[in-house]
Amino acid sequence: MISGIRGRLVTVLLTLATTATSGADPGTDALIDRLARPEPETTSFIEIRYSSLLTEPLVVAGELEHRDDGALVRRVQDPYRETTTLLGENVTVERDGSRLRRFSLDRAPELRGMLISFGAMLKGDRATLEQHFQITSSETKSAWRIDLVPRSDKLRARLARIRVDGRADRANCMTMEEPDGDATVIAIGVSERDTLPSPLEREQLQSWCEQSGAL
């Protein structure tokens, strides 16, 4: 059950974690400062999962919320209804037609490291963030990009890199790249699939993330 829920939790964190900072790079500091959002914060999303085991991408849509009590909530509304809530060390998963599931992060120590890091992003905790990730960024007049590479071998075994693409003061997409080449792309602020390129080929979607996003 834990392995099936990891992707849901990372989606919650990636889409809402927009206050990271890196003391080693003033350019990154300035970029991230523009992305900060107050609590509570809610945004729509469409998540596209690319896997070598799938003949076509798996697509889900819904809303993500960072509540003022610190909870992170992912609500899938299409093609099924499911709510995943992370509060402290506890995770609950509610899905229509299924029983409520609960578990503690004690059962997934590598996931805890990831969650601690993204919690640090939300709080602007530079020391904790840099403990878990190497942070780099680049920016042009029309777009910017942030890369987070896990420092620990254990985390890199599951997650090769997190890539965030955007422009001005908002993120367009967050991409989780796995060591085997599979990836999950989260389009932020998007509620209609027609907004995205068709067909949903990975290269086309990445270009959309880099150039325009949901504008």
Retrieve residue 84's tokens. Answer: 């995943």
pLDDT of 25 reads 56
Tell whether omega for the bond before 40 is within 30 degrees of 0, i.e. cis.
yes
Q: Percent of the chain scored above 70 by pLDDT?
A: 70
More confident residue, 14 or 2: 14
For the four alpha carbons of 119, 124, 130 and 136, in that order, the dihedral sign comes to positive
Domain 2-208 has CATH 1.10.760.10: no
Q: Are strands 101-104 and 82-87 parallel, antiparallel or unpaired?
A: unpaired
Q: Which residue has the tokens 């290269």?
A: 203
Write down the pLDDT at residue 5: 52
Supply the pLDDT for residue 51: 95
Query: How far apart are alpha carbons 92 and 108 in whole angstroms?
Result: 14
- Tell me, what's the pLDDT at 167? 84
pLDDT of 150 above 50? yes
In the predicted model, what is the mean pLDDT of the chain? 78
Q: What is the 3-state secondary structure (H, E, C) of 84-150?
A: EEEECCEEEEEECCCCCEEEEHHHCHHHHHHHHHHHHHHHCCHHHHHHHEEEEEEECCCCEEEEEEE
- Judge whether residue 89 has pLDDT over 90: no
Q: What is the pLDDT of residues 94-134, one digit of tens each?
A: 998 889 999 887 776 656 665 665 555 555 566 666 777 88
SS3 77: strand
* 213 Ramachandran zone, left/alpha/beta (phi>0; psi -120 to 50): left
Bridge partner residues of 60 (DSSP): 47
Mean local confidence (pLDDT), 75-94: 89
Query: Does the pLDDT of residue 22 top 50, yes or no?
Result: no
The answer to whether the peptide bond before residue 57 is cis (omega within 30 degrees of 0) is: no
181 conformational bin, left if phi > 0, alpha if psi -120 to 50, beta if neither: left
Domain ranges of the chain: 2-208
Q: In the numeric block, which tokens belong to residue 59?
A: 């697509």
Q: Is the pLDDT of residue 40 over 70?
A: no
Confidence of residue 21 (pLDDT cuts 50, 70, 90): very low
For the residues 32-43, what does the mean pLDDT come to? 67
| CA–CA distance, 47 with 65 (Å, rounded to integer) | 15
In this predicted structure, what is the pLDDT of residue 147?
87
Statement: residue 91 has pLDDT above 80 = yes
